[in-house]
Amino acid sequence: MGKITKHEWMTDGRLAWLLVVAILIIDQVIKIEVKTSMTLGESIRITDWFYITFVENNGMAWGMTFINKLFLSVLRIVAVSAIGWFIWQTVRQKGRPRYVVFLSMVLAGAAGNIFDSLFYGLVFSASSPFYTAYWVPFGTGYADILMGKVVDMFYFPIFHATWPSWVPVWGGEDFTFFSPVFNFADSCITVGVVCLLLFCRKDLEHMETTLQTAIHKPSAKQPDGESDKESVKD
C-alpha cells in the first residue's frame, strides 16, 4: 500500500471541518474573555478608530429585537443545519475548494452566534455595567437554553460627522461611521458572503443544480430484464 500524501489527506471535507472548528474556537475564546473580564458597556481604546466595546444583543444584525428570541434561535439552527447539509453535498459533488471554504466561513460564523444563544444563559451570570459576569453551575445562569445573548465587542468609529440640514429625517444630527458593534463570528459571515459574491458567482449560479442533484439522485441501475419482470407482475 502506498503512503497517503498530505494532499490526499486534506480533502475538501476535512478542510471545511477544520476551518469551522478553528473559527468556532477563536470566536468563543474572544467572547468568553470579553464577557468575564469586562463590564457591560465598558470600552477599551485600541486606536482612535478601533475600540473593544462589550455589548450584548439577542442575536440579530445590529441588535434588532422585533422577532421573538426563541423563534429566532430555532430559525438560526435550521438555517445552519441547511448550510451544513449544502456544504456536504457540495463536497460530494466535487465543488471548488474556494467555494467550500467560503461557505464554511458563513456556517462557522452563524454557528458561533448560535452557541451563545444555546449555552451562555446556562453557564454565565447576567452581565452588568457594575460588575463582570462569572461562570455558574450549568443550568443556573441568567437565561434558559436558546435564550442566551450574543456577545459583541469590535467597534470601528472610523469617523464622526453631522448630516447636512437639508437631509430629510436626519438633517443636523451627528452620525458615526462605522457604528455597529460586532464579533468575530459576524466578520466571518460577512467576509464569507462577500467572497462568495466576488469569487464564486458561477458556483452560486449552479446552486440549483447542486440541490437538484442531491435531492433527485439517480437510482442504482437494475440488471437487464429486472424492470421488465416487475412490469409484467400482476
Q: Which residues form the catalytic set?
A: 152, 186
Nearest to 186 by CA among 85, 84, 116, 83: 116
Determine the Cα–Cα distance for residues 210 and 135; give it in Å rounded to an integer.
44
Strand partners, 51: 45, 155
Residues 6+ apart with CB under 8 A from 160: 174, 175, 176
Residue with cell 450574543: 150
Determine the Cα–Cα distance for residues 82 and 88; give it in Å rounded to an integer.
10
Nearest to 75 by CA among 63, 59, 86, 87: 59
**Identity at 161, one-letter amino acid code:** A
Determine the Cα–Cα distance for residues 96 and 90; give it in Å rounded to an integer.
8
Strands 50-57 and 43-47: what pairing? antiparallel
CB 38 within 8 A of CB 109: no
